[in-house]
Amino acid sequence: MKFNLLAISLASCQAVFALPTDTLEERDTVRGFDISHYQTNVNFAGAYSSGARFVIIKATEGTTYIDPSFSSHYNGATAAGLIRGGYHFARPASSSGATQANFFLAHGGGWSGDGRTLPGMLDIEYNPSGATCYGLSSSAMVNWIQDFVSTYRSKTGRYPMIYSTNDWQQRRLPYDLSPGPGKI
């Protein structure tokens, strides 16, 4: 519903201010992509010249996996002039949010105020190898995410970004996630 209201608002602005409709979306979009070890040969310079300006790179998963391509991807993105950051694939059934946030921070998930590093991102979605919500109730999942977020923020001074799918969020977290940064 919020997207519909946004579209109506943008359409109203276009009508009132006679904004060109064919370029509004393009001007309001920053292109970027996410990668992991599954993408072995990434042409970062080509991505930049095609309009990409950021990349999110898998750093960790759970508390035992460090992506073996993280450093080379991070360095390649930096050399191409891309803004970059790391992401953590959550495994909520294996340990607390705080434990996983600390593991992520120790292995590429940090943030610096250099103007080229994005805050870390939590990738929380359907479990690829088991129970849809990792065996957690909706309230337990919200608590897990809050634990991750508050730990990350306490160490970096920044809220992490959160990636999920609309479907997973609506089915597993029947809460309004729209109030702003860090609100769950």
Written as six digits, the tokens of 122 are 């939590």
Q: Check pLDDT > 80 for residue 181.
A: no
The length of the chain in residues reads 184
How does the average pLDDT of the chain come out, rounded? 83
Q: pLDDT tens-digit profile of 110-127?
A: 999 999 999 999 999 888
- Pick from 24-28, 100-104, 141-145 the range whose average pLDDT is largest: 100-104
Residue at token pair 């999942």: 141
pLDDT, position 112: 92
Does the annotation count 176 as an active-site position? no
Residue of 28, 34, 61, 147 marked catalytic: 34
Does the annotation count 125 as an active-site position? yes
When comparing pLDDT for 165 and 106, which is higher?
106
Q: What are the phi and psi torsion angles at 116 (to 5°)? A: -125, -5
Cα–Cα distances in angstroms (integers) from residue 143 to residues 47, 138, 146, 153, 163, in the given order: 37, 9, 5, 15, 17
Q: The whole model's pTM is what?
A: 0.79
23, burial (CB in 10 Å: exposed 0-12, middle 13-18, buried 19+): exposed
Contact 59, 81 (CB under 8 A): no
pLDDT, position 114: 94
Residue of 28, 125, 167, 176 marked catalytic: 125
Mean pLDDT (whole number) for 89-95: 95
Residue at token pair 């939590």: 122
Chain mean position to CA 145: 13
155, burial (CB in 10 Å: exposed 0-12, middle 13-18, buried 19+): middle
Query: At 1, is the pLDDT very low, low, confident or very high (cuts 50, 70, 90)?
Result: very low
